[in-house]
Amino acid sequence: MRSRIDDMTAFRWRAALALGMILAPAAATAQGFQINEHGMCATGRGGTGIALPCGDGSSIWFNPAGIVGGTGMTLGVGTHFVVAGGAFTDDFTGRETDLQNGAIPVPHVYATYGVSDRLAFGLGAFVPYGLGTEWPATFAGRYLGYDNSLFSIYVQPTIAIKPHPMISVGAGVDAIVSTVRLTQRIDLSSQIVDEATGTTFGQLGIPPGTDFASVQLRGTGAMKFAAHVGVMLRPTEWLRFGARYLSGARIVYAGRVDFQPVPTGVVLPPGNPISLAEPLLPDDQPLPLDDLLGTLGLFLPGAPLADSTGTASIAMPQQFRLGAAVRVRPGVWVMAEWHWTDWSAYDEVPVDFDNPLTPDLTVDGSYVDVHTFKGGVEWEPNERWTVRAGYLRHAGASPDHNVTPLLPEGDRNAFSGGVGLKLSERLMLDVGYQFIRQDHRRGRVVDPPPGATPQQVVDKVNSGLFTFSGHQIGATMTFRLFR
């Protein structure tokens, strides 16, 4: 005869399975340039932390309501490293170009103080949005971007209260400090020689892919603020729910725009179209192209490619998340979450140059709103050790016509694991690892022609296959300073 404990355990396993089935339709999701690994406890269980808080203070990010429920101070400090690998294979040449990203550190710091079981304060710093893509300077997509980065640091003071034993509520205000770097090459063949006729260097015989300049924008964003609120419900000892919302912000970056000449090494033969078109040039002698470009003074003050200042505007999307956790047996929790991210806010990145002779540009985003699904499990076999595992899936936020070297993402499956070790009564170490497997995705390495429809871009401009995989590994040390 089954005992009541056996019946309850079976019911909780069924409840956990039902949660996963309810949230599973959200599996087609997006990541964009979002970063979710802000505590290795949560990372080990698939990034879940909305309903079941970790003890390292990371609820400041995952759900502000989770910091209340105890007394004393806790300090959580850690970092994880993003190690990405990928390549682009050209359809026509078969050439494979490898991504050159190094290991990127992403730190997180949390401090919480429980005044009582019903009131707590916290302060956290984390990087919820960021990207870094570095390709060789010879890469075919260098005219769209080959060395780019964006990092947005959120500093969040937080307060949480527990108005009822079953309910906790938390809120914070995020001060956002952000930096951006965009780097591109400029193709001489596309530059206009004669404004009156619109004649380009390409029409005078300069082949496509002739680099003659590099432009880089480095900027710091004006400080913006976002709101972060969360709630947790605990109807029983074995069932918990959570929800949280983070508002969006559009950040305007101001900084320097630097142009650098790039030697072409091209020597045009006698009788070339440029010598024939310019009466001051001898048409019976070879013409070093770099000498000619030097006489034009393109990089001098007041010229179109003179160093100046400029601005760029980038949207950080809003988020809404729901989660649930079920304790299926003593020491074993199963978690599931659904996320919505307003990626349609990332529609375009306008870059405006203060030099009136330098044409402004716009980096197309065209992202779409997306959802995500995460699942995790946590097991405490004894008082010292905790073992975790998790899974998540998301699709690329960018549409098929806008998969570029800036962020060549696609459908991803991520598998994670981790352990927690209680070193002493006041010291805890959490280690987490995540493997990211991305499906191959076709994309483009040049701008589409003006007026091209999205389907025309997919059919005619997308010219190769992006591949990607990644590893994330890190550690969080938690100090319980006093109780």
Cβ neighbour number for residue 284 with a 10 Å cutoff: 7
- Which pLDDT does position 354 carry in this prediction? 85
| List of E strands, 165-282 | 167-187, 192-194, 199-200, 211-221, 224-236, 239-246, 249-261, 267-268
What pLDDT is attached to residue 450?
A: 82
In the DSSP assignment, the letter for residue 458 is: I
Extract the tokens encoding 470.
């990644």
Q: How many CB atoms neighbour CB 214 within 10 A?
A: 18
pLDDT-flagged residues of the chain (< 70): 1-33, 482-483
* 64 closest CA partner among 275, 180, 279, 228: 228
Cα distances (Å, whole numbers) of residue 407 to 211, 226, 469: 23, 25, 13
Q: How many Å from the N-terminal Cα to the C-terminal Cα in the chain?
A: 45
Residue 393, SS3 per DSSP: strand
Q: Name 295's Cβ contacts closer than 8 Å, sequence gap at least 6.
A: none
Contact 110, 73 (CB under 8 A): no
**DSSP symbols for 268-308:** EPTT-HHHHH-TTS-TTS-EEHHHHHHHHTTTSTTSTT--E
CB-based contact 97:87 (threshold 8 Å)? yes
**Short-list 163, 323, 336, 316, CA closest to 244:** 323
Instruction: Identify the three-state secondary structure at position 438.
Output: strand
Q: Are 480 and 73 in contact (CB under 8 A)?
A: yes
Q: Give the 3-state secondary structure of residue 18.
A: helix
Residue of 106, 149, 116 lying closest to 131 (CA atoms): 149
Which residues make Cβ contacts (< 8 Å) with residue 194, sequence separation at least 6?
none
Structural domains in the chain?
4-482 (2.40.160.60)
CA 325/CA 420 separation, integer angstroms:
19
Of 339, 341, 312, the residue nearest 323 (C-alpha) = 339
Digit-coded pLDDT (tens) for 416-428? 999 999 999 999 9
Please provide the size of the chain in residues.
Answer: 483
Going by C-alpha positions, the residue among 356, 338, 266, 259 that lies closest to residue 302 is 356
> pLDDT value at position 3?
43
CA dist 129 and 369 (Å) reads 16
What DSSP assignment string belongs to 19-76? HHHHHGGGGS-B-TTB-----HHHHHTTT--SSS--TTSTHHHH-GGGG-SS-EEEEE
pLDDT of residue 483: 62
- As beta bridge partners, residue 241 has 233, 324
Task: Give the integer Cα–Cα distance in Å for 321 and 342.
Answer: 12
The predicted structure's pLDDT at residue 409:
79
pLDDT, position 17: 36
Alpha helices in 70-142 (DSSP H): none
- The neighbour count for residue 334, using CB atoms within 10 Å, is 25
